Structures are given as C-alpha cells and as structure tokens.
Amino acid sequence: MKQNKDHSEEGTAHISSFRDHWSTLVTLLLLTIVTVVISVFGANLAALSVATALLIATVKVIVVAYYFMHLKYEKKIYTWLILLVVVLFAAFTILTALEYYNR
Amino acid sequence: MTAVSTHLNFFQTKKGIFSWIFSVDHKRIALLYFYSLITFFLVGVTLGLLMRYELLNPGKDLVEAKTYNQIFTMHGVIMIFLFIIPSIPAVFGNFFLPIMLGTDDVSFPRLNLLSWWIYVIGALMALSTLLFGDGPADTGWTFYAPYSVKTGTNVTMSVLAAFVIGFSSILTGLNFIVTIHRLRTPGMTFLKMPLFAWSLYATSWIQLLATPIIGITLLMIVAERVLGVGLFDPSIGGDPILYQHLFWIYSHPAVYIMALPAFGVISEMLPTFSQRTIFGYKAIAFSSLAIAFVGYFIWGHHMFTSGMSGTARFVFSMLTFLVAIPTAIKVFNWVATLYKGSINVQPPLLYTLAFIFQFMIGGFTGLVLGALATDIHLHDTYFVVGHFHYVMFGGTGFAFFGALHYWYPKIWGKMYNIKVANVAFVIFFIGFNMLYFPMLIAGLMGMPRRYYDYLPEFHLPNMISTYGSWVLAVGLILMLSNLVAGLLKKNQNVGRNPWNGITLEWQTLSPPPLENFDRMPEIPLNGPYDFEHKPEIKD
Amino acid sequence: MEHAHGLHLPNSGHNRDDEASKMGMWLFLFTELLLFGGLFIVYMVYRMLNHEAFLLSSFELNVWLGTINTVVLLVSSMTIAMSITAIQKGNSAQSIRLLMTTVGLSLLFLVIKYFEWSSKIHHGLFPGMDYYNNLPKGEALFFFLYFMMTGLHALHIIIGGILIGVVAYRTKKGEVTSKKYTLTENAGLYWHLVDLIWIYLFPLFYLIH
C-alpha cells in the first residue's frame, strides 16, 4: 500500500461533524468549570488540589488530542509515539523529583 | 565508460556557487556540510594543539590562564556543537541515507537546506565571539552556572549560537525520521534496512526529543544574564544543580547522537571488508534503539560530585551500567562478523578495527567513571578527558575518517593512494594513542582537568601527550593531503563498486546522477547483507 | 542524456506526500512539548523548594481573566477543527470564515493577556524592575517563570495566528481544497498544541490556591 507512486490519495480521511466538535467543546468547558470551582471554592484539599488540577488538565488534554487532533482516527503509530514522549518526559520529572525529594 | 558518459553526475548538472548554497539536492547539501565541518574541525584541532603546547611544561609556555580557559572553551564548543554532533549524520547520513533506502532525496528537501543555513548562521555566531564583544566564553563548553552568569566574557553570544545550532540538529533528525518511515523503496521493510539507516533512525529520535531541553535551558542562561533573575545563581535564590540537571538531560543523550551514527558506519564497513553477512543483524539494529532509550535516564552520572542527593546518585549509577549491555552486544557482533570472513585489508577496515579497539578503551573507562565510588576519586581529572576523547575522537572521529575513506570513491568517483592512506592511518593511530593514553594515567595520578598549569610530578605524561599531539597532526595532514591529491587526479573510473559492497549505493554510478539511480535498485533477497544473493552489478 | 531523467523512483522525496507532512508536523510538536517541558521541570523544582512563596504569589494572579482566556482558547480550538471539517466537505468559504474566527479569538486572547501583563508590570513585578528585585527569592522565581512561560506561550499564539491567517489566504486563492488540505490540518495541529500547553499553564499558575 505504501508503494503507491503518489501518496496523496492514501485512505479516506475521517470527517468529524460540527456536532461532534460542539460536544467536545462542551465537555472541555465543563471540565474547566469543575477545575476552577474546586480551586476557588473547594479549598482545603491541601496538596491534593494540585494533583486534582493536573489530573483534570490531563483529561482535557486527552480529549483535545483524541478528538480535535484526530488521534482517534489516525494510525496507531502516532499514539505510540506520543506515549513514548510522555514516558520520556515523565522519566525526566520523576528522576529530577527523586533527587530533590531526597536532598 | 559509455554508461558514465551518458549520465551527468550531480556535480555536473548545474554550475556556480548559487547552485550549491541554494541546492535542495541532499548530496550537495551533504558536501556543503562536509566542507564546513572540516573547516571547523581544523580550527578545533589547532586550538587543541595550542592547549597541548601550553601543557608541555609546568608553568607558562605560551598563553595566560584566562586565554587558556577561552581556548579550551572554544575547542569544546567547536568540536562538540560544530563538528561531532552534526558530523556523520549531516555528511554521510545526508548523502547516503536516501541512496541506501533506494530513493532520490529526503522527505523535506527544502527543510534540509534550511538546516544547513541555520547551522552556518549558528557557527558564525559562535566564531563572532572571537572578534566582537568581551572575548570568547571562558566557562568550558558546559556553560555551568553560576560562573556562566557572572563571567564578563561573551557567554550570551556563545549560548545563543548553541541554541541556533540546536535547531539545525532538530530539523535534520525530523527529516530523517520521516524519510525512513515514508521513502523506503518497495520491498525494503524496516528489517531489510541497512544498519546505518537504523543507527540514524535511533540518533534522529535523540536529536528530536533531547535538543529542545538544552534550547530552553540556554535561553534561561541568557535571561539570567540579561535580566539578573536568580534562576541558577545561588546568591540570588537559584539552584546551580538544576542547571546541571537540565544541561545533562540533553547532553548525555547527545553523547549517543555522537556515537550511534559511528556504530552504523562500522556496521556497514565490516560486512563489506569481510565479504559476509553481519553477525546478529537484529541485535545490532535493536541495540541502537535500546541505547537511545536508556541513554535518556542516566544523565545524573555527570553530577556525582555536585552535591546531588545520595539516593539519586545510587539510582543513576545503577542505570548507567544498563547502557553497557546493548553497547557490548554491538562489539561482540562486530568481532563475530570478522570470524571466517574473507577479510580484505583496506584503509576503511583499518579505521574500523582502530575504532573497535579505541572505543572499547573508552567504554571500559566509562564503566570506571559510572561506578559511584571510583568516580568520586576520578571526577574532573584527566582520566575523564582521556575517557571521552577515546569515545568521541577514537570512536566517532575514527569512524568519520573511516567512512570518508570508504565512501570517497562513491562521492567523488575517484580513488586516493591506498598505500599513503595506510601509512597516514598508522601515524594517526600512534599519535592518537600517544596523545590520550597518558591522560588516563595522569588522571589516575590525580591531575585535575581544565587547569592551565600542573604540579611537576605530572610532567612526564603531559610531555608524552604533547609529543603525541604532534604525531597525530602529522598523520592528519598526511591523510587529508592524500585525499585532496586523489581529487586532483584526472580521467579516473573507479566503477560502481570498488569495494564489492552490497548496500544500494554501490549499484549506482560513481558519482551518482542527480536522481541517485540510473536504473531501479535491486534489494538482496534475505536482508541487506545477504552476500549469497548479491544482485549482479554491471558497469 | 535524456534517459537519465527517465528513471522515476516509486518513493521519491519530491512526490506529494500528505502523510509525510503530517508526520513531520507531529514530530515538530514533540519538540515543542519538550521545549516547554524543560520549563515545567524548572517550575516543579522551584515549587518544591519554595512551596509557600509560590502559593502566596499565585494569589496575585487574576483567576477570572485566566479562566476567560482558557475558554477563548478552547473555543478557538473548536473553530479551527470545524474549519478542517468545512474544507474536507469542500466548503472553502465556510472554512475561511472559521479560520478568521480563530484568528480573531487569538487576538482576543492576546488583548486579555496584555491587560493582565500590564497590571503586573504596573506593580513592578517584571524581572529586573526595582520592586521585583526586592521580592523574596521564591516569589521572584514565581514571577520570572510566570512571565517566561506565558510569554513563550504568547509568542506561540502570535506565530499560530499568523500561520492560520496564511492558511485562510491560501484557501481563498484556491491552493487549499477538499483534495489538498494538509496545510489546514497542520495549522490545526499546531493551534491545538498551543491550547494543550495553556491547559497545563492555567492550573499551575492560577489555580494552586
């Protein structure tokens, strides 16, 4: 399949509908409201509040990548490569944090 | 001869300086890189010889301490950022990756040209510190804070130069990854790619994913110098060890940007000069990826004496030993390839064998430094200087010159004098070992690195080392003049395949035509080194 | 001499290859992620070392302006995703309208950012100003990182806005069509990345109460 002389016609791209885009946006806005409400009014979660905020941010990022950036419909290799980048960055932060945590 | 005369090669298609500096042909861009790299290499060598001359005797021989600091910084910056990081990928990768994959160019030819221009701009920025401002940086190529944010020399420009050159490195890596994914000739699966392509693939991923970290770190140094923020300077609230972390998160993987392409070149030359398939193709291919991956997690071994926490030192030391495994796999496979081969001793093979010998010394001394306890004793001594020159110069440098001798007839369609090349190699080899082996001894004796002076008891190893640098220079001059003399010969026809190689570049004309091939390349039946089913190559 | 040009290699670097363009864009996005990644590591370390000061400084930032900007970016992410849908369906005019909406939203983001920054600068919080230089070390680091990270992000917004404008112009000229819309897709990917980074910047600077 890769051997075609011209790659422009390869496969047929998935076309997301406007409706899909609207629902993605609504999801993202809801998550934003949740994270702001927890931070401003929830208070007293102490250290957990950062963890919660980052967790919600990560969910938002996954939604954006999966739907807006079409990862859902792309070849699997892109997902794997993104995971590789995430693993590397996680390793950088974990190893660095390990150092500072044990000073 | 008829076949040769009916095709214009890539030198002949267009003439004039602009047809070169604005060319999008990967072969011409490779040669642009080659000529610029060699120029900077010679500047770096000259600076190195000056340093060695200063260290000939205790006390002042030639220059002041501050000048010495600037010389070794320039030597490091030029050799690392301008020569060895781009060396094999930008020259031989650019030239041969598309040909070995059976295609006519990289995926993004214009981006490829842009990379070279960015490289040149960065190089000019680095060299401009020699002429303008408050003199070149005197920090060492690592730009360690807080000295780099306090010294009066022109650190800002040097750092920005490194930042700009980083972009060139990123774009080359990006281009190669996409090329390997998209442009392999029909039938060439990943596991039928030559090992040079595999090593470039692994290298490109490091270039792509590690370089941005150094980019942003260097920008922070600039911000700190310009705005006076306490990012890394402890006296105004920063943490200098954080700089070291960020620096080595890039610069340790960068060691593999320098080494992996050399492994690839060696894996090409060994089958050709043994006339048999490489031993353990998959093991070599996957160990490149393994080295690239593990290389990201071991940066802390550069910081054992920095005041980093004990736990982290222990973890980084353990992880460091992991990288020895895939590296040893490669060495065993290379040596096993020679076994029962029809060995043809030619200059490229001599460089290959010297590579294996010297790289092993570099590797073993690396284990000594990776072990926490011994490193406390040896850190920042000449042992480290000896170690990394054995890896970088004895390894990658020798692989670079080996590759130059190997692909020379393909690139220029001419042949150098083999006997002279052999003699030059022997002098070069002796000079190299005379220059760097005494450094290991001086380091064990406790001589610290980066000092412009030393105690009298270190005189002997330093003397031998400086004499060695002169032998090395003689060997280098002889080697390069022999190569230049080869180019001046007229009416030569080396044929398509002077070494009886098997990868696709040997199926086309020497020098190749603009489109790389004059007929469809044929891939061997069972993998790239299947000498038993070698496609017949007629001139 | 002619037949030298006769050989056409099947996988040529000079062929049109949309998949290669997209892959190149993704790889470029990886480098962008790690560029910001370096700053996130610095943020993490200094937050560990100056926990209280970071908490205190974050109260200086205006959560509502931050939230509004988050919403602006999320909506703009949707409009550019819609413009890809439109061009895929062959509706160039609609695609251009959606692209220009995205550009408009990027300008709105920058205007809000401008008011935020200028009120901080008015208080002397920009690195190098007198008030800044007398801040406790932890707070100084917080504001340096705030300006550096949101500044670098704003630079990406500007570049993205210009890029999207170019795409709209080329769509108008008919160079981007339902058969050839990689440019729109790549501009979209870039814009989403800018959004992604903001999604992390927002809680880390504004919401760590």
* Cβ–Cβ contact A25 with C under 8 A: yes
For residue C122, how far is the Cα from the chain centroid? Answer: 26
| Neighboring chain B residues of A82 at a CB cutoff of 8 Å | none
- Asked, for residue B129, whether it belongs to a domain, the answer is yes
Record: contact C9-B242, CB cut-off 8 A: no
State the Cα–Cα distance between residues B136 and B152, nearest whole angstrom.
10
Determine the residue among B231, B247, B509 to mutate to test chain C binding: the one whose Cβ has the most chain C Cβ atoms within 10 Å: B231
Record: contact B297-A95, CB cut-off 8 A: yes
State the Cα–Cα distance between residues C16 and C175, nearest whole angstrom.
14
Record: contact A40-C209, CB cut-off 8 A: yes
Q: How many CB atoms lie within 10 A of CB B68?
A: 22
Tell me the β-bridge partners of C180.
C177
- Chains A, B: CB contacts within 8 A come to 36
Give the closest of B186, B249, B312 to A102, CB-based: B312
* Cβ–Cβ contact C67 with B under 8 A: no
User: Please, what is the angle between helix B240-274 and helix B195-227, to 10°?
Assistant: 160
Please name the residues between 65 and 84 in chain A that touch chain C, using a CB distance below 8 Å: 65, 67-70, 78, 81-82
- Tell me which residue of C81, C105, C95 sits closest to C170, measured CA to CA: C95
State the Cα–Cα distance between residues B256 and B286, nearest whole angstrom.
14
State the Cα–Cα distance between residues B445 and B377, nearest whole angstrom.
10
Which of the other chains make 3 or more beta carbon contacts under 8 angstroms with chain B? A, C
* Cβ–Cβ contact B300 with A under 8 A: yes
Determine the residue among C42, C43, C44 to mutate to test chain B binding: the one whose Cβ has the most chain B Cβ atoms within 10 Å: C42
Determine the residue among B229, B308, B516 to mutate to test chain C binding: the one whose Cβ has the most chain C Cβ atoms within 10 Å: B229
Record: contact C78-A68, CB cut-off 8 A: yes
Regarding the domain with residue range C32-206, which homologous superfamily does it belong to in the CATH classification? Cytochrome c oxidase, subunit III, four-helix bundle (1.20.120.80)
For chain A, give the number of residues: 103
Record: contact A102-B300, CB cut-off 8 A: no
Q: Report CA Rg, chain C.
A: 21
| Neighboring chain B residues of A102 at a CB cutoff of 8 Å | 309-312
* Cβ–Cβ contact B251 with C under 8 A: no
| Neighboring chain B residues of C19 at a CB cutoff of 8 Å | 182
Record: contact B174-C27, CB cut-off 8 A: yes
State the Cα–Cα distance between residues B349 and B403, nearest whole angstrom.
10
Tell whether the torsion through CA atoms of C60, C62, C63 and C66 is positive or negative: negative
Asked if B418 and B347 count as a contact pair (C-beta separation under 8 A), the reply is yes
> Residue ranges of the alpha helices (H) in chain C?
18-49, 51-58, 63-88, 92-122, 130-133, 137-172, 182-206
State the Cα–Cα distance between residues A56 and C16, nearest whole angstrom.
40
| Neighboring chain A residues of C65 at a CB cutoff of 8 Å | none
Q: Which of C8-17, C46-55, C121-130, C151-160 has the highest mean pLDDT?
A: C151-160
- Tell me which residue of B68, B146, B149 sits closest to B306, measured CA to CA: B146
ipTM: 0.94
Backbone angles phi, psi at B260, to 5 degrees: -60, -45
Which residue of chain A is at minimal alpha-carbon distance from B292? A88
Tell me the β-bridge partners of B9.
B513
3-state helix, strand, coil in chain A (%, to 5): 75, 0, 25
- Tell me which residue of B81, B76, B83 sits closest to B139, measured CA to CA: B76
Q: Report CA Rg, chain A.
A: 19
Asked if C16 and C22 count as a contact pair (C-beta separation under 8 A), the reply is no
Q: How many CB atoms lie within 10 A of CB B234?
A: 13
Q: What angle do CA C119, C125, C128 make, to 5 degrees?
A: 135
pLDDT at A8: 45
Determine the residue among A78, A82, A87, A88 to mutate to test chain B binding: the one whose Cβ has the most chain B Cβ atoms within 10 Å: A88
Q: pLDDT digit string (tens) for A46-65?
A: 556 778 889 999 999 999 99
In one-letter notation, the amino acid at residue B223 is: A
Give the closest of C10, C16, C81 to A21, CB-based: C81
Domain boundaries, position B486: 24-533
Residue A92 has pLDDT above 50, yes or no: yes
Record: contact C144-B174, CB cut-off 8 A: no
- Asked, for residue B352, whether it belongs to a domain, the answer is yes
- Tell me which residue of B107, B179, A64, B209 sits closest to C28, measured CA to CA: B209
State the DSSP string of B50-70: HHHHHTSSSS-SSS-HHHHHH
Backbone angles phi, psi at A13, to 5 degrees: -70, 145
Ordered per-residue pLDDT tens for chain B, 539 residues: 334 445 789 998 888 999 999 999 999 999 999 999 999 999 999 999 999 999 999 998 889 999 999 999 999 999 999 999 999 999 999 999 999 999 999 999 999 999 999 999 999 999 999 888 888 999 999 999 899 988 888 999 999 999 999 999 999 999 999 999 999 999 999 999 999 999 999 999 999 999 999 999 999 999 999 888 888 988 878 899 999 999 999 999 999 999 999 999 999 999 999 999 999 999 999 999 999 999 999 999 999 999 999 999 999 999 999 999 999 999 999 999 999 999 999 999 999 999 999 999 999 999 999 999 999 999 999 999 999 999 999 999 999 999 999 999 999 999 999 999 999 999 999 999 999 999 999 999 999 999 999 999 999 999 999 999 999 999 999 999 999 999 999 878 899 999 999 999 999 999 999 999 998 999 998 899 999 988 888 77
User: Please, what is the angle between helix B155-182 and helix B65-77, to 10°?
Assistant: 20
Give the closest of B296, B309, B310 to A91, CB-based: B296
- Asked, for residue B9, whether it belongs to a domain, the answer is no
Backbone angles phi, psi at B370, to 5 degrees: -75, -20
* Cβ–Cβ contact B295 with A under 8 A: no
Record: contact B517-C17, CB cut-off 8 A: no
* Cβ–Cβ contact C140 with B under 8 A: yes
| Domains of chain C, residue spans | 32-206
- Tell me which residue of B1, B192, B202 sits closest to B101, measured CA to CA: B192
State the DSSP string of B445-465: HTPBTT-S---GGGHHHHHHH
| Neighboring chain C residues of B107 at a CB cutoff of 8 Å | 13, 17, 20, 24
Record: contact A7-C63, CB cut-off 8 A: no
Record: contact A95-B315, CB cut-off 8 A: yes
Q: Counting runs of H as helices and runs of E as strands, what totals does chain B give? A: 20, 0
State the Cα–Cα distance between residues B47 and B35, nearest whole angstrom.
19
State the Cα–Cα distance between residues B437 and B387, nearest whole angstrom.
9
Q: How many folded domains does chain B comprise?
A: 1
In one-letter notation, the amino acid at residue B389 is: H
State the Cα–Cα distance between residues B242 and B310, nearest whole angstrom.
16
State the DSSP string of B355-414: HHHHHHHHHHHHHHHHSHHHHHHHTTBHHHHHHHHHHIIIIIIHHHHHHHHHHHHHHHS-
| Neighboring chain C residues of B7 at a CB cutoff of 8 Å | 1, 4
CATH number at residue B316: 1.20.210.10
State the Cα–Cα distance between residues B388 and B395, nearest whole angstrom.
9
* Cβ–Cβ contact B365 with C under 8 A: no
Token pair, residue C192, equals 């989403």
